[in-house]
Each structure stands twice: as C-alpha cells, then as structure tokens.
Amino acid sequence: MITRLAKASLAAALSVTTLTTGAVLATGATAAPTAATSASAQHVTVSQSGNYPGGFFTTGNMSVGWTSSGTADLTGPTHITLDLPPGVTTDGAMFFPTPQDYTFTSALSPDHRHLEAVFTATRAAGAYNFMKLNLATTPGVPIAGVITATVANPNDTDPTGHISRYDLVSRSYLPATVQPAPTVTGLDPATGPGAGGTTVTVSGSNLTSGMVLVGGVPAPGTCTDTACTVTTPGGSGSAPVSVVTPGGTAAAPAAFDYTGAPPPAPAAPAISSLSPASGPAAGGTRVTVSGSNLTYGTVAFGGVPATHVSCGPSFCTATAPAGAQPGPVDVTVTTAGGTSAPATYTYTA
C-alpha cells in the first residue's frame, strides 16, 4: 500500500534542508533532446543532482528536476518517479515554489525507496521545477547501486530525456537510456461506482514507472513492468484509460464504465484579488488571480479566454488577452464546480 505524504509546512521543511558538509556536490542531467523533439511540441526532460551519500558520509540529499524543453507550454499531469537502491532511503519529497499555481502530490512506498509524484500545471518552454529529498543509508548495508529518476507527461510524444541514472559506486551519471513504448492489453475490472475507489489492474508490457489516467485523471497506485494496480478517481459515464510511461502513452483496449451517481461537484471557485488589476489593451500582461477552489481552472477576461493559464487551489497565473477597447472587464475562473463571481480588470489605453 502506498502511503500519502502530507504537504503541510513544506516551506519550513525545505528551509532547514542543507547539504552535508564536506560531501561532493554532483550535478547531472539527461542527454540533450535529439531531433525527435521537434515532433513533440510539448516535451519534458528530467535531471538529478545532489550530495549523494558515500565514503565517510552516511547521509546526503538530492534534487530531481524537470524542464519543459518543447516549443509549446507543457500542460497536464507530469509524473515523476525516484527509485533508490537497497540500503538507501528517503523520508519524502519537499516542494515549495511560489505562487502555488499548480497541484503537487507525492506517495512514498513502505520501504522508503520508491517515490512517485504528480505535478499538474502549465509551464512555458524552458521552465524548471524540482523536488528536494533527504537521503539516508542503512547501517551495515554497502552503499551501492543506481539512483533512477524518470519523468513522463501524456502530451509528450518524444521518449528521449525521460530517464536519469546515477551510479553510487562509480560516482557518475550513466548514459541516457530510452524506455520501450508501453502496451496495454487488459483492464480488470472495467466497471465501478461513480464515487471512485475501485481497485483496478491494468495489464500490459513496458509499464515500469507508469501513471494510469482514468478519464484523464491520475489514478493513485503503482506499476510493475507488466501490470499497474490503481484506485479509480470519481467519475461518470465511460472513461478512457491509458498508461503514461517514460517510453510513451498507451490506451487500454476498453474504457472504464462508471455506474451510479458521480461524486459531488467541487466547491465553486471564488476570486479575492487580481495583481495587477490593470494593463494595456493590447494584452500580454501576466496576472495573478488569488482566491479559493481554483484548481484546474480556466480564466477569462471579458469572456475571452486567457492564455498560459495555470491554476492551483488558491492561485492562478494567466496572460491577459487583448481587450476590445480600454475600460473595465469582468475576470472569471471556471472549474468543475462552476464559474466564479467576477473581479474587475481594467484595460488601459
């Protein structure tokens, strides 16, 4: 069973995380994207760096980062995994960039050697995010093996740059590898209540480090090379199922059919402030929308959709579209819970 990590007080936790005195700081990244990157407008690559334990040092820390390296904004859920060799453990991920125009969840295995995280946001090409982790070693167990980090996103069709490996014996980063494309052959069961909570096994091949999407929503669980065992989120109707891995995305041969009533809709979004609250009529102003219940929202200015929108629970960032003329317009956020009462944004001449 996967244990969910609480994300409270991440700022304090991150502020007290320090590098081990005297340890060698190693920094490594995946190989540069190849020409295949041009075939995927949305592309993300993974890297890792840190003061890894070894020699006289029985503790250390590291970061796992992901960079949007395509030609378009990276959107949707980005899945990050970390696997530690025997004798090396972590107490979980620390993640605190601001403003929180994103959602971030992580789960740690009972043996503290496998971590999975899902980061959902919109990020422009070149944007970098990372999570930080403390590392500890087990007395009596030699420090050996490979630390592996992976990244995957359903909108990324270029499989390069998705795996980073660090060898604790040679103290070096290993050559870049590409995971074979996944295949999905079965889904059992294929029906369950709209409230969610059904345990489902998705079978196939090359599913290692995978993330299962049910109706486009990440389903918590874990994957081996041949099967993923996940718990369905709430939903309604017939929901497509797919597995997203570092090697690509594969659709299940059948959908998951929800029965009965769906879960209650989330609370309606609300806007408390805009910053800034004005900008040129030509558009292009980056605006922060503060409020509540904004997760996965879309933002509109005078009924015109904003661009580069990314929303977390209490913040959205968005780029204002061009205004028809100078003057005030309504700004709204729309989620599955409805549309917010408007806030006022003023286009200037």
CATH top-level class of 270-348: mainly beta
- The amino acid at residue 224 is T
Distances (CA, A) of 159 to 6, 70, 344: 31, 12, 43
Q: Tell me the whole-structure pTM to 2 decimals.
A: 0.88
Q: How far does CA 228 lie from the centroid of its chain? A: 18
pLDDT (0 to 100) of residue 68 = 97
174 pLDDT tier (thresholds 50, 70, 90): very high
Could you give the residue range(s) of every CATH 2.60.40.10 domain in the chain?
A: 183-259, 270-348
Q: d(Cα 152, Cα 222) in Å, to the nearest integer?
A: 14
Average confidence (pLDDT) over 259-280:
96
**Range in 19-23, 72-76, 319-323, 336-340 with the lowest mean pLDDT:** 19-23
pLDDT (0 to 100) of residue 100 = 92
pLDDT (0 to 100) of residue 225 = 98
325, two tokens: 């003329």
Average confidence (pLDDT) over 216-239:
97
> Do the Cβ atoms of 44 and 70 come closer than 8 Å?
yes
Whether the predicted pLDDT of 150 surpasses 60: yes
- The amino acid at residue 71 is T
Comparing 99 with 313, which gets the higher pLDDT?
Answer: 313
101 contacts: CB under 8 Å, gap ≥ 6: 121, 122, 288, 310, 311, 312, 315, 316, 317
- The amino acid at residue 246 is P
pLDDT (0 to 100) of residue 39 = 67
High-pLDDT (> 90) share of the chain, %:
84
CATH top-level class of 183-259: mainly beta
Could you give the residue range(s) of every CATH 2.60.40.1510 domain in the chain?
A: 3-173
Average confidence (pLDDT) over 126-145:
92
Comparing 298 with 96, which gets the higher pLDDT?
Answer: 298
- The amino acid at residue 72 is A
> Strands 343-348, 278-280: parallel, antiparallel or unpaired by DSSP?
parallel
168, two tokens: 């604790």
pLDDT (0 to 100) of residue 139 = 85
Q: Which CATH superfamily is domain 3-173 in?
A: ntegrin, alpha v. Chain A, domain 3 (2.60.40.1510)
pLDDT (0 to 100) of residue 91 = 96
